[in-house]
Amino acid sequence: MEGQEIGRVFNFFERIGVAAVELTGNIKLGDTLRFVGTGYDFTQVIDSMQVEGKNVASAKKGDRIGMKICDKINKGAKVYRV
């Protein structure tokens, strides 16, 4: 169930529960992502994401996105589409 790697977390804002991810692949709302790092491994469906503070329905390789996530995560975590 690993999936295709589509990015890495470059920041996490714990107070608001938002992960900042630099994409190496394309994603869209409704995709299921898997977050893997030291001490955690969880999946979540994307129900909202932003690029430069604007809500978007999809994002492409090279974009830096913010997304609300359900758990804590660390910088450097790998993100997969499953």
pLDDT of residue 1: 53
Domain 4-81, CATH 2.40.30.10 — does that match? Answer: yes
Q: Is 33 helix (H, G, I), strand (E, B) or coil?
A: strand
pLDDT per residue as tens digits for the range 33-55: 999 998 899 999 999 999 999 99
| The dihedral formed by the CA atoms of 55, 19, 9 and 28, expressed in degrees to the nearest 10 | -30
Q: Which residues of the chain have pLDDT under 50?
A: none
